[in-house]
Each structure stands twice: as structure tokens, then as C-alpha cells.
């Protein structure tokens, strides 16, 4: 069996190949190219079954990594495209691999072809700005700074952060959760959930084995902390004399009303983050399977952009019931998870 | 890592505080300048367009995980403050912020602006 990731130009060659020698492969390639809007990569798997060549096409990422060279101008100079060799630059290669791992989770587990579900190319820029302490999704691409070297190291070090940023794109193309207040905290939490799941999926970890840390490895050794956030124990990720103590609440009782940070979206995300971990722990096994499927169904369902915690919780219960049945262990786990963080599902309905 | 401002300076001629929130880290970082040299800092402060958009928050359309900056000048007077999305910290704002970061002290940030309380769930 030969397995390869096929860029569009090669698909075109296969499509125009001798259709009598390779009828299945050329037909499949033509079919893929017809679906292109405007370009698309696919993973082509060829195998021999007796005298027959069997061609199978599946979704594949189409990545493009650019280097901003320390400036705050996008996109920067392209340094690696899909299928290209490693650049030798850690940030560029980590971004490339991280985008691939994120694509794989969405494609293999949830059947989603890239950010928009239709094969959108994955673009990222590294080395953005000078001593830039951040990573963000700008609506079209993921952008990664190198960190200041005192508190933060380069942001591509963390696979969960790469998954987090790409998931902002998925949210943009699905529910479009408003980035303010409770819906903004849910937007953030969903990015943390799938960022953690990308890391767990890549390492084949169960819920019990996972760290549930977001941004582990980003701090320099001088910082007293393990990560940016702990999904299992919000409020415990760091306690440093300069950074202060991790301010995330782990229960609705600690909800922070603030004008900072778009209404505390990175603070109050601790509440739905912990709810997800409680659900994943209750169900056991790989969190990207049942718990992740319920959250994915919810995200891609019919959420209002300004949904609050209670509305989102009710939507997860409905998603669990739709997939696993109203009297299922999954629905029970979802309800218990939200109750564990003080969020009541309206009227007790699943 | 602490590098606190000098506590012996009472009512300095220059008292400027810069706080950054948001970003993927969601962390608050703070820097402050306390100095007797008002003439050094007044041009930097006065160059900023404090009144262009009135008090309070300016546009917040930077998108997920971008940072927000709060800039407070307690002295030299008059006292002024502004909150800016990351994309608006350009020109004189950027000059002021970067000078405070370069020449001031890192300070442990205060709790998030606002108050902790119970939300409806």
C-alpha cells in the first residue's frame, strides 16, 4: 500500500492519466478536482486487490506557513507549503506539524474537512512581531509570536495552543459565537476543549491520562507555573510573583464580571472547561470520542451567537440525547458535568 | 522576578500605569513609571489622542485572542485614561506604551477590572 498526501497539481496529473490503466484513480482525482473551490488537497491511498488497483481518496490538509521576520505585517514570506520539506526553523516546522495534527482530529474523528468544512487552506504566520507575547486567529490565518524570552517562549511550542487558534476558525465558520461575555467565554472554552483534544488525539491519551493543560511548555523556567490554564483544575495553572495567581474560576459562583478581556472571556472559560472535563472523566476512555462528539455536534448545531452558559449546556444535553438517546449514560454525564460547575440545564430537560 | 516601583516616592511628578489583558494567555501584565522628571514624559503623554473617541473603550473588533491595553496617567495632570485594542496601539500610543515598558517597572497586576460575582446559570 502506498499512502501519500497529494497536492492539487498532482491530482490534476492523476486525473489526466490513462483512464484505462488507472480508471479508479483518475476518476477519483477528477471527482476531487471538481469539488475544489478553488484548491484542495486530498490523501490518496492506493492498494492492490487481486488484479485491481484500488484508489481511495480522503481529506488532507493544505498548509502554508509564512515568516513575518519579526515585523507586525501579515502574511509574511512563505517558507513552507503542503508537502514541502522541513525548513529547519523550529517555529515554522512546529506550526506545520501542529496544523496537521489539528486537521487530523477534525477530519478523522468529526469528518470535518478543515476550518470551514470545505477544505479551506490552513495558513499560519510565525515570528510575528518583536518579542511578541501572543498567538491569535485573525479571521484568515493563525499568527504566532516568539514570546519575550522572560515569561513566554515561542507559542508554537504548544500543540494545544495551535489547536486552540485553529478552533477559533472553526467556531467562526460554524456557530459564530460572539466574543464577549458568556458567549465569548464559551468561544474560548471551545478552543481550549478542542486544543486539548488535538494534543490528546496526537498522543493517544485517555481522559484520565491527559494533563488537561493549555499551553504547557510556553513559560520559561523562571516562571512559577505549568501552563496558561488548567481545564481540570481552573485557577491552579500558575502562581508567580510577577504574573500573580491564575484567576480562572472553576464554578459559576466565581464568575468574574469585568470590562477587561472582552468581559473576562479567558477567565470565565474555566467554568465550561471544567464542565467538559467532568463529562469526559465520567464517560472515560478517549475524550475526543463521546464527550468531544457531543461538543462538536453542539458547536456545529443551531447555537445562537450570543448563547449563554445555560443555553449552551442545554444544547449539549440535546446533542447527547440526539446521538446517544435521551436515557443514555452520555446525557447523564453531560447533565452532571454542568451541575458540577453550577450551571443548571433549563427545566431539567435533555 | 519582582521589580516593584520605589515605594519611597510619594506623589511623583510622573505616575503612569499600563496594563495589558487578553491574548491567548488571558493574563494581565502591568508596567508603571514613577518619576520626578515631568518634562521628560509630558511630550509622550500629550502626543496621544486622548479625546479622539471620548472616554472608555474604543472599538473591540480585533478578533479572538488579541490583547487589550489600559493606559492610565495619574500625573502629570490632568489625569487621563484610555483602553485600546491591540491594533490601535500605534503611533504616539505605541511610543508611550513601549517607553513605559522599557523604562518603567513591571508590577504585579491588580485583580481584573470590575468585580467578581455570580452570574445566572
For residue A29, the model assigns a pLDDT of 65
CATH 1.10.390.10: which residues of chain A? 181-348
Q: pLDDT category, A328, cuts 50, 70, 90?
A: very high
Q: Are strands A213-214 and A229-230 parallel, antiparallel or unpaired?
A: antiparallel
| Interfacial B residues in 10-49 facing A (CB < 8 Å) | 21-29
Report pLDDT digits (tens) over A139-194. Answer: 999 999 999 999 999 999 999 999 999 999 999 999 999 999 999 999 999 999 99
How far away is chain A from the Cα of B57, in angstroms, using its nearest Cα?
9
Residue B37: inside a domain: yes
Q: Report which secondary-structure segment, H or E, holds B22.
A: strand B14-22
Q: In the prediction, which pLDDT does B56 show?
A: 47
Residues 6+ apart with CB under 8 A from B75: B11, B12, B13, B14, B15, B16, B38
Q: Which of residues 67-86 of B touch A (CB under 8 A)?
A: 67-68, 70, 83
Nearest to A136 among B29, B65, B112 (CB): B65
Mean pLDDT for the stretch of residues B81-102: 93
Q: Which CATH number fits domain A63-157: 3.90.650.10, 3.30.70.1140, 3.30.70.590, 3.10.170.10?
A: 3.10.170.10
Q: Residue B112 falls within a domain, yes or no?
A: no
- Which residues make beta-bridge pairs with A80? A65
Q: What is the pLDDT of residue A32?
A: 60
Question: Greater confidence, B86 or B4?
Answer: B86
Coil, strand or helix: which one is A45? Answer: strand
Catalytic one of A127, A266, A286, A330: A266
Q: Where in chain A is the domain with CATH 3.10.170.10?
A: 63-157
Mean pLDDT score of chain A, rounded to an integer? 91
> What predicted TM-score, i.e. pTM, was given to this entire model?
0.85
Say how far apart CA A91 and CA A111 lie, in whole Å: 28
Give the per-residue pLDDT at A42. Answer: 78
Determine which of A278-282, B36-40, B57-61 has the lowest per-residue pLDDT on average.
B57-61
Residue A266: active-site member: yes
A55: confidence class by pLDDT, cuts 50, 70, 90 = confident
Question: What does the alpha-carbon distance between residue A199 and residue A160 come to, in Å, rounded to a whole number?
Answer: 6
pLDDT of B46 over the 90 cut: yes
Q: For chain B, how many structural domains are there in total? A: 1
Interface membership of B114 toward A (CB under 8 Å) = yes
B20, B32, B62, B64: best to mutate for the A interface, most A CBs within 10 A = B64
Q: With an 8 Å Cβ cutoff, are B118 and A253 in contact?
A: yes
At residue A4, the pLDDT reads 43
Q: How far apart are CA A115 and CA A99, in angstroms?
A: 11
What residue numbers bound the domain in which B28 lies?
Answer: 22-107
B29 interaction partners in chain A (CB closer than 8 Å): 133, 151, 243
pLDDT at A308: 97
Identify which has the larger pLDDT, A147 or A46.
A147
Mean pLDDT score, B30-37: 93
Q: Which fold has domain A181-348?
A: Neutral Protease; domain 2 (1.10.390)
> Could you say which of A243, A266, A343 has the minimum Cβ distance to residue B121?
A343
Coil, helix or strand at residue A15: helix
Residues contacting A97, CB < 8 A, separation 6+? none
- Across A53-67, A94-108, B40-54, the highest mean pLDDT is recorded for A94-108
Whether residue A251 lies in the annotated active site: no
As a whole number, mean pLDDT of residues A281-285 equals 98
What's the complex ipTM? 0.81
Instruction: Report if residue B17 sits inside a domain.
Output: no
How do B29-35 and B14-22 pair as beta strands? antiparallel
Helices within chain A (DSSP H only): 8-15, 23-35, 90-104, 110, 159-173, 181-203, 261-268, 270-283, 290-299, 309-324, 329-340
pLDDT of residue B54: 47
Q: Do B68 and A187 touch (CB under 8 A)?
A: no
Catalytic: which of A64, A165, A199, A216? A165
pLDDT band at A11 (very low <50, low <70, confident <90, very high): low
Amino acid at each position: 500500500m502506498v499512502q501519500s498526501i497529494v497536492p492539487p497539481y498532482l491530482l490534476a496529473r492523476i486525473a489526466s492519466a490513462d483512464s484505462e490503466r488507472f480508471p479508479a484513480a483518475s476518476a477519483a482525482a477528477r471527482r476531487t478536482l471538481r469539488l475544489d473551490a478553488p484548491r484542495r488537497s486530498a490523501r490518496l491511498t492506493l492498494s492492490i486487490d487481486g488484479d485491481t488497483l484500488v484508489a481511495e481518496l480522503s481529506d488532507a490538509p493544505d498548509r502554508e506557513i509564512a515568516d513575518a521576520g519579526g515585523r507586525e505585517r501579515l502574511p509574511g514570506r512563505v517558507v513552507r507549503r503542503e508537502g514541502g520539506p522541513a525548513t529547519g526553523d523550529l517555529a515554522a516546522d512546529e506550526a506545520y506539524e501542529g496544523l496537521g495534527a489539528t486537521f487530523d482530529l477534525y477530519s478523522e474523528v468529526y469528518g470535518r474537512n478543515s476550518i470551514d468544512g470545505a477544505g479551506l487552506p490552513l495558513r499560519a504566520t510565525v515570528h510575528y512581531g518583536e518579542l511578541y507575547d501572543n498567538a491569535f486567529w485573525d479571521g484568515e490565518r493563525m499568527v504566532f509570536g516568539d514570546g519575550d524570552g522572560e515569561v513566554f517562549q515561542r507559542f508554537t511550542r504548544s500543540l494545544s495552543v495551535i489547536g486552540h487558534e485553529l478552533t477559533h476558525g472553526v467556531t467562526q465558520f460554524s456557530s459564530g459565537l460572539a466574543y464577549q461575555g458568556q458567549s465569548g467565554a464559551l468561544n474560548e472554552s471551545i478552543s481550549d476543549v478542542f486544543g486539548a483534544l488535538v494534543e490528546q488525539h496526537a498522543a493517544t491519551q485517555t481522559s484520565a491520562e491527559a494533563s488537561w493543560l493549555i499551553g504547557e511548555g510556553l513559560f520559561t523556567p523562571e516562571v512559577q507555573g505549568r501552563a496558561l490554564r488548567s481545564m481540570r483544575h481552573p485557577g491552579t495553572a500558575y502562581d508567580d510573583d510577577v504574573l500573580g495567581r491564575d484567576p480562572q474560576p472553576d464554578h459559576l459562583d466565581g464568575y468574574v464580571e469585568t470590562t477587561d478581556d472582552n468581559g473576562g472571556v479567558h477567565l470565565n472559560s474555566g467554568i465550561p472547561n471544567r464542565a467538559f472535563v467532568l463529562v469526559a472523566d465520567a464517560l472515560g476512555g478517549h475524550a475526543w470520542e463521546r464527550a468531544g462528539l457531543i461538543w462538536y455536534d453542539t458547536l456545529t448545531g443551531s447555537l445562537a451567537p450570543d448563547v449563554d452558559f445555560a443555553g449552551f449546556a442545554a444544547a449539549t444535553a440535546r446533542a447527547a440525547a440526539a446521538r446517544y438517546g435521551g436515557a443514555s449514560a452520555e446525557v447523564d454525564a453531560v447533565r452532571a458535568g454542568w451541575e458540577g460547575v453550577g450551571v443548571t440545564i433549563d427545566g431539567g430537560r435533555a | 522576578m519582582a521589580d516593584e516601583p520605589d515605594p519611597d516616592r510619594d506623589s511623583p511628578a510622573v505616575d503612569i500605569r499600563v496594563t495589558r489583558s487578553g491574548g491567548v494567555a488571558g493574563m494581565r501584565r502591568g508596567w508603571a513609571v514613577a518619576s520626578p522628571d515631568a518634562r521628560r514624559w509630558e511630550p509622550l503623554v500629550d502626543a496621544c489622542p486622548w479625546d479622539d473617541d471620548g472616554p472608555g473603550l474604543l472599538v473591540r473588533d480585533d478578533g479572538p485572542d488579541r490583547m487589550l491595553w489600559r493606559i492610565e496617567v495619574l500625573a502629570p495632570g490632568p489625569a487621563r485614561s484610555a483602553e485600546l485594542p491591540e491594533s490601535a496601539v500605534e503611533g504616539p500610543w505605541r511610543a508611550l506604551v513601549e517607553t513605559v515598558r522599557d523604562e518603567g517597572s513591571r508590577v504585579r497586576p491588580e485583580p481584573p477590572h470590575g468585580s467578581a460575582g455570580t452570574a445566572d446559570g
